[in-house]
Amino acid sequence: MHRTRSLVTGLLPLIPGAAPERLAVWLVKGYVQNSSARAPLAALNIRQYSAAPPPPSQAAAEPFLNGSSSVYVEEMYNSWLQDPKSVHASWDSFFRNASAGAAPGQAYQAPPSLAVPGRHEIPITALVPQMSMSGVSTGLPIDEKMIDDHLAVQAIIRSYQIRGHFGAFLDPIQIEGPKDLNERLKRETHLGKFLPEAEEKDMDRIFKLPATTYIGKPDERALPLREILSRLEAAYCRHIGVEFMFINSLEQCNWIRKRFETPGAMSLDAEGKRLLLARVTRAAGFEAFLARKWTSEKRFGLEGCEMLIPAMKTIIDKSSELGVESIIMGMPHRGRLNVLANVCRKPLEQIFAQFAGLEAADDGSGDVKYHLGTYIERLNRVTNKNIRLAVVANPSHLEAVDTIVQGKTRAEQFYKGDSEGKKTMSILLHGDAAFSGQGIVYETFTLSDLPDYTTRGTIHIVANNQIGFTTDPRHSRSSPYCTDVARVVNAPIFHVNADDPEAVMHVCKVAAEWRATFHKDVVVDLVSYRRGGHNEIDEPMFTQPLMYSKIRKMKSVMEKYSAKLIEEGTVTKEEVDDVRNKYEKICEEAYVKAQKETQIRYKDWLDSPWSGFFEGKNPLKMGNTGVIEETLKHIGKRFSSTPPNAAEFVVHKGIERILRARMEMVETRTVDWALGEAMAFGSLLKEGIHVRLSGQDVERGTFSHRHHVLHHQTSDKSTYKPLCNLYPDQAPYTVCNSSLSEFGVLGFELGYSMTNPNALVCWEAQFGDFFNTAQCIIDQFIASGQSKWVRQSGIVLLLPHGMEGMGPEHSSARPERFLHACSEDPETFPAETEEFAIRQLHDTNMIVANCSTPANYFHILRRQIAMPFRKPLIIFTPKSLLRHPEAKSSFDDMVETTGFKRVIPEAGIAASQPEAVRKVIFCSGKIYYELKKAREDRGLDSAVAITRIEQICPFPFDLIRDEINKYPNAELKWAQEEHKNMGVWSFVQPRFHTAMQGSSERRLSYVGRGVSASPATGSKRQHLKEAAQLLEDAFAGFPKEFSEKKQYEEEEEEE
């Protein structure tokens, strides 16, 4: 509360009296001061905003024309000047009287009320006797004063609702401010502060309660001011601070008001209190046990925020009661082991065994214990319903797991047909510093209400220990609260003092109900402290001496709450001891069991089990990727058509042309890139595989080549998706333009891909190089996820790539970055067996490819599903090749007998006379077409072979070796358009060496651009120069007769 408190203090000098005081007092004082000043309207300096003539001076002297009402009155007056009937009859009468010269104070006449009094409404006259009984003498007509007073009280109520949280007692350690904030606040609200002449009596005056509050019991329509203030303080200024009045839905605001203002809303029965105490005891007992057994082992203990555990359990109980069956959670290091033990009920011996440093029984490199995930299905004892809980494994990178959890949740909802999110939900846990500091949190929130990304409400819990490692909030954020980022999506934020267990329970229940009712995000901010250092080895006094001298004197929440319950007679001391001892015994027993363990199993910590997927499969046997011609034809035709039965669907002329061209290709048994992709997707859909393509502008495609969503040109929001209409029983196809985020959306799609192995989930970058804003997802999850967490994913990254003169960005998708993260050994030629290719795929961490033909693209997409396991696939996709006349494939390369080609060897004249070949140029991707043309131009077709490597990792050692051996007399070149320190060169170079099995006679050398700091030049001219030079260099070294021969042949042809 450091930062919040200083913000409030910062505001106080602006407030009359300067001393910190209750909002109500400040407001009422404002009224008193204004009314005593009685500034005439002309003096309020507001007319400069009005084009209307000034109101008559007599009217300006009316006593109620003060403060906030004056603007309103002036608006009324201006309207009345235009048309007297446009204002209420009472205003009409007032302005007529004032214009006619009525004396100040005499122009206003109260109109008779015609309305039937509703809830909170009582006839104003009914209050008059009480008002006069209070004996307050104002010297003004009683009804006018009363209106002002009522307006002031309404404003007080509203100000509590809006700003009451600033006065709430949220910080258990009271880093700043007077020791007893409650006492101070009481003193500040004393009657004398705003009505010095009749203090106590004014507090007893009765005020009608407006419809915007629920502080009245059912039969209470008016209350003494004292009671109003007291109830507002109970609702908004005790241990809960509610931020919600920024929400732009009246219904939602009222819903929240009701839950916090209704008298008795926060009370908990004895059974609830006992359960709560038991849960706090377990949370505290777990940390104490670990601290005792492993004194200096890092575990990122929860001490100081033990209430996180009962908070999560309450949310789970309530959500289960409201119909949720599966909860997917993401969380950082703090308290993670405790969550696994006490929320998920992961067997304690498995957790304790992690401390023993045992070897793993399964493959992989593993992860530290406070990053591991889990998946558990169990009975919720409170609701007696089954519940599935998953904690997603995460790296150290704080908050990076957020969108992965969201994607996984969304996928589970999708596959279960839970379109409203009633059965599956997510909970995200955060640290205070990370929540406000990490941009991915914002990216996660912005996905929360997008049709293809929403999870229908996430409950966020911040374990707000008011510190991030060694940094104070005042140095780690510029916002008053660490939770302010949630305001962007209108999520209510419940700050709660985590040393008040019952208050925590209340906000958690409300949060769960909110999610179930509105299906929107909500934040619970557990304001707490960190009893120790950042981890168990750190000394916090180095940097936070004051904070820690206070913390060291603090009793734990368990001690405080058990003392409270003993004192109020809810439990006995024996019961408290009993609960504690029982849990300790459970821990001891598990500890003994853990000691007998000899190995740990990473599989025990898997967050996304794919039951039934691996069972019964030969892990080295892959299905076919070719399909029958009939399927290609059918998909092609559908993909080239407008809605079959919608003659009125108006298609853009340009799209009509594209569709016609597609149809012509289908008729000639050819595909371009877009058609090849559609056939891959369509054929998988036919086989029951859900396909999801997500990313920026993917529906049309950045390069306007895809057009998976056709837009009716004369009817808004009327669209047609050909791939959703291929077969009556096909799987669903999802294509969705995403928010402009890479980190968030790639994380989301990765999470999506973890849920169902029988889905093809693709994320496309707008241009390939933009992936680097999502680098953390690639390094921490995609490249290493299986190794760390035995978790597989078949996600596909489509990264437009190619040096086409577009400048430093938009050119290279930086293949080197991905290749560097590949786990393949460059110096090992894998054993040559029949399963060479599939074993390589099985053993790699990622597949990296640059396909040069639509057919190969088609096959590699389909291979993702044909594989008996899942691996991430990174494809560098083309830009200019999308429309290149030669970059087309025949159906012949896609039918049943065909498959993906890891290498496309030279197939021209050179291949038929390999001994005569002088040079073999190996390359990958679009440069092939440029090299091919340059070779032809130079008449070198028989002298130079050009071979394409389509799958870069796993490296096709066997095929490359064969290709090299085929051309015994040729020099070997690697040509690439990326700079020498980029692209594929440094990856392939040692692998070629290995493929040549150490042959010292043959050497691969590089041809292409030199090294550079920037991926591409910004000058088109320079680009063309470099591109031309590259081709010159590639074909350098041939004697002149080669080109003369070519010239001779051409002349002969012309004749």
- Site residues (vs Mg ion, CB under 5 A): 431-433, 465, 467-468
Q: What residue type is 868 in one-letter code?
A: P
CA pair distance 1041, 939, nearest whole angstrom: 10
SS3 389: strand
CA pair distance 184, 798, nearest whole angstrom: 61
Distances (CA, A) of 926 to 854, 941, 977: 12, 18, 9
The one among 20, 407, 421, 468 contacting ligand TPP by CB under 6 A:
468
Q: Which is nearer to ligand TPP, 371 or 410 (CB)?
A: 371
The least CB distance from residue 803 to ligand TPP, in Å, is 33
Give the footprint of ligand TPP on residues 578-597 (CB under 6 A). Answer: none
The least CB distance from residue 434 to Mg ion, in Å, is 8
What are the E-state strand segments in 358-489?
Answer: 359-360, 374-380, 385-391, 424-431, 458-464
The least CB distance from residue 785 to ligand TPP, in Å, is 17
Cβ–Cβ under 8 Å, residues 676 and 717: no
The least CB distance from residue 470 to ligand TPP, in Å, is 9
Q: Which is nearer to ligand TPP, 34 or 528 (CB)?
A: 528
CA pair distance 208, 32, nearest whole angstrom: 19
Does residue 434 bind ligand TPP (CB under 6 A)?
A: yes
Q: Which is nearer to ligand TPP, 334 or 634 (CB)?
A: 334
Cβ–Cβ under 8 Å, residues 225 and 204: yes
Angle between helix 439-447 and 402-415 (nearest 10): 20
Residue 397 touches which of ligand TPP, Mg ion, none (CB < 5 to 8 A by kind)? ligand TPP
The one among 396, 517, 599, 1022 contacting ligand TPP by CB under 6 A:
396
Q: Which is nearer to Mg ion, 304 or 939 (CB)?
A: 304
The least CB distance from residue 788 to Mg ion, in Å, is 25
Does residue 469 bind ligand TPP (CB under 6 A)?
A: yes
* Residue whose entry in the numeric block shows the structure tokens 């009893």: 531
Distance of CA 527 to the CA centre of its chain: 23
Q: What residue type is 547 in one-letter code?
A: M
Q: Which is nearer to Mg ion, 529 or 720 (CB)?
A: 529
Segment near ligand TPP (CB under 6 A); pick from 132-140, 357-365, 391-399, 583-591: 391-399
Of 287, 329, 332, 278, the residue nearest 306 (C-alpha): 287
The one among 156, 341, 433, 527 contacting ligand TPP by CB under 6 A:
433
The least CB distance from residue 480 to ligand TPP, in Å, is 16
Cβ–Cβ under 8 Å, residues 210 and 157: yes
The least CB distance from residue 369 to ligand TPP, in Å, is 15
The one among 120, 397, 564, 980 contacting ligand TPP by CB under 6 A:
397
The least CB distance from residue 607 to ligand TPP, in Å, is 19
The one among 20, 164, 431, 722 contacting ligand TPP by CB under 6 A:
431
Q: Which is nearer to Mg ion, 63 or 437 (CB)?
A: 437
What are the E-state strand segments in 635-732?
Answer: 670-671, 690-695, 710-711, 719-720
Q: Which is nearer to Mg ion, 304 or 407 (CB)?
A: 304
Cβ count near 448 (within 10 Å):
21
> Token digits for 665?
């290709």
Does residue 398 bind ligand TPP (CB under 6 A)?
A: yes
Cβ count near 136 (within 10 Å):
16
Residue 396 touches which of ligand TPP, Mg ion, none (CB < 5 to 8 A by kind)? ligand TPP
Does residue 442 bind ligand TPP (CB under 6 A)?
A: no
Segment near ligand TPP (CB under 6 A); pick from 45-53, 139-147, 390-398, 991-999: 390-398
Cβ count near 606 (within 10 Å):
19
CA pair distance 91, 15, nearest whole angstrom: 32
CA pair distance 657, 321, nearest whole angstrom: 56
Segment near ligand TPP (CB under 6 A); pick from 193-201, 291-299, 459-467, 485-493: 459-467
Residue 499's Cβ-side half-sphere holds a number of Cα atoms within 13 Å equal to: 22
Does residue 334 bind ligand TPP (CB under 6 A)?
A: yes
Distance of CA 735 to the CA centre of its chain: 19
The least CB distance from residue 446 to ligand TPP, in Å, is 19
> Token digits for 884?
């290149």
User: What is the total count of residues that contact ligand TPP (CB under 6 A)?
Assistant: 15
Angle between helix 673-686 and 653-667 (nearest 10): 70
State the virtual CA torsion across 428, 433, 436, 439 in degrees, nearest 10: -80
Respond yes or no on whether the N-terminal peptide bond of residue 609 is cis (omega within 30° of 0).
no
Q: Which is nearer to Mg ion, 225 or 401 (CB)?
A: 401
Does residue 65 bind ligand TPP (CB under 6 A)?
A: no
Segment near ligand TPP (CB under 6 A); pick from 135-143, 345-353, 429-437, 968-976: 429-437
In terms of DSSP H, where are the helices of 456-500?
A: 473-476
Residue 920 touches which of Mg ion, ligand TPP, none (CB < 5 to 8 A by kind)? none
CA pair distance 405, 332, nearest whole angstrom: 12
For 78, counting Cβ atoms within 10 Å of its Cβ (0-12 exposed, 13-18 middle, 19+ buried), the class is middle
Residue 22 touches which of Mg ion, ligand TPP, none (CB < 5 to 8 A by kind)? none
First to last CA, the chain: 90
Does residue 467 bind ligand TPP (CB under 6 A)?
A: yes
Of 848, 878, 813, the residue nearest 889 (C-alpha): 878
The least CB distance from residue 775 to ligand TPP, in Å, is 12
Does residue 432 bind ligand TPP (CB under 6 A)?
A: yes
Specify the length of the chain in residues: 1055
Does residue 528 bind ligand TPP (CB under 6 A)?
A: no
Residue 434 touches which of ligand TPP, Mg ion, none (CB < 5 to 8 A by kind)? ligand TPP
Under DSSP, the state recorded for 338 is H
Which residues on adjacent β-strands are paired with residue 240?
496
Residue 249 touches which of ligand TPP, Mg ion, none (CB < 5 to 8 A by kind)? none
CA pair distance 44, 39, nearest whole angstrom: 7
Q: Which is nearer to Mg ion, 213 or 465 (CB)?
A: 465
The least CB distance from residue 498 to Mg ion, in Å, is 12
Does residue 463 bind ligand TPP (CB under 6 A)?
A: yes
The least CB distance from residue 465 to ligand TPP, in Å, is 5
Of 379, 402, 533, the residue nearest 471 (C-alpha): 533
Residue 821 touches which of ligand TPP, Mg ion, none (CB < 5 to 8 A by kind)? none
The least CB distance from residue 431 to Mg ion, in Å, is 4
Cβ count near 1028 (within 10 Å):
12
Does residue 338 bind ligand TPP (CB under 6 A)?
A: no
The least CB distance from residue 434 to ligand TPP, in Å, is 3
CA pair distance 287, 275, nearest whole angstrom: 19
Which element (helix H / strand E) includes 211?
none
Residue 398 touches which of Mg ion, ligand TPP, none (CB < 5 to 8 A by kind)? ligand TPP
Which element (helix H / strand E) includes 497?
strand 493-497
Q: Which is nearer to Mg ion, 533 or 956 (CB)?
A: 533
The least CB distance from residue 464 to ligand TPP, in Å, is 7
Q: Which is nearer to ligand TPP, 535 or 641 (CB)?
A: 535
Does residue 306 bind ligand TPP (CB under 6 A)?
A: no
Residue 334 touches which of ligand TPP, Mg ion, none (CB < 5 to 8 A by kind)? ligand TPP
Residue nearest to ligand TPP (CB): 431
> Token digits for 789?
């967490």
The least CB distance from residue 471 to ligand TPP, in Å, is 8
Rule CB under 6 A: which residues touch ligand TPP? 334, 396-398, 431-434, 463, 465, 467-469, 530, 534
